[in-house]
Amino acid sequence: MAVPLFNLAPDITVSRLCLGTMTFGEQNSLPQSFELLDKAFDSGINFFDSAEMYPVPQRSQTQGRSEEYLGRWIRSRNIPRDRVVLATKVSGPSGQMTWIRNGPESLDSRNIAEAIDNSLRRLQSDYIDLYQVHWPDRYVPMFGETEYDQSRIYSSVSFEEQLAALDRAIGAGKIRYIGLSNETPYGLMKFLHVAEGDFGNARTISVQNCYNLLCRNFDSGMAECCHHESVSLLAYSPLAMGILTGKYLSVGRGPDDARLNLFKGRYAEGESRYNLSNGIIRKATELYVSIAEKHGVHPVSLAIAFVLRHPLVASAVFGATKLWQLEEVLNGCKVHLSPEIVAEIDEVHSAFPNPCP
């Protein structure tokens, strides 16, 4: 069974599975990355996601390698550029990654223009199909935070300046479409409203936000915006950083080379957001895994099939460090969740709503 397709834009058709590359250059060597890319492409995946800050955990010595490996693979395999859909991201302000434009400091026009040119160079491409703002240039609760604290507001770059820079890049042929990531309903609607004025070519077509069995926050507010504005969801972390596979539920808490073990103490966001020491997260995970076991479905297939059944999801953005992990995700496309399974999933969700926001 081939990976199904989705029309993300009138002239862009993407596979409903998107291979994320944030392990390339850290957990995966160049040959290992090529092996994963080969298998994904041969299996019908044409959609690949990266970011200028990747791989993670981020550090100056490896920054940009994920894009570089992806570009080298396309070039070495002589793949026609129109056979693949490349998505990447510009980092929002953080102050922590000083090796990326001093922080990065902001998403002003200079930073956006420089980031695009650097990504094009690493990808060895004349254009990027989908260019995404990795996180907003303003205070918003992100990466596990849920409550808005207005005292944390800081001076930010206007939506107008960001869109002007993106619109110029579209006019120059450097990017085709723009998307947002880790965004809120307010941010999406502001980007859409401002684009209607002077930046019509820079209309947002997608939002890459977290969505999985343990995190369905998208359905509270953002889904309504995306539905009425014809914006697709690119669902990242469909396996909740691997905990929905069930591998961390074992007595030994999973393989030593599993990400949450390998980078223990170095990956604050992941460790806090997907912490099975939290009894609620652990219980919800156990229940979802038990549903899969009860119905003879692999936990990975259950998680992937759940995400892909959402009517607003264009593609599930997943990561894999080994070929067998990639195979498990591919198998998720073959699974149809019966009404009985969906009802059992919703029952767990009602008891333990969104423990991993």
Tokens of 278: 């939290």
What does the alpha-carbon distance between residue 246 and residue 298 come to, in Å, rounded to a whole number?
Answer: 10
Whether the Cβ atoms of residue 256 and residue 234 lie closer than 8 Å to each other: no
Tokens of 337: 């969740």
2: which DSSP letter?
P
What does the alpha-carbon distance between residue 62 and residue 75 come to, in Å, rounded to a whole number?
Answer: 21
| Angle of CA points 258, 263, 267, to nearest 5° | 120
Q: How far, in Å, are 3, 21, 154, 281 from residue 209 at the CA level?
A: 21, 16, 23, 19
Tokens of 156: 């930010």
Whether the Cβ atoms of residue 159 and residue 194 lie closer than 8 Å to each other: yes
What does the alpha-carbon distance between residue 191 and residue 128 come to, in Å, rounded to a whole number?
Answer: 20
> Active site residue: 54, 177, 236, 267, which one?
54
Residue 219 half-sphere exposure, CB side, CA atoms within 13 Å?
12
Q: Is 131 a catalytic residue?
A: no
Which H/E stretch holds residue 19?
strand 17-20
Query: Which residues have a catalytic role annotated?
Result: 54
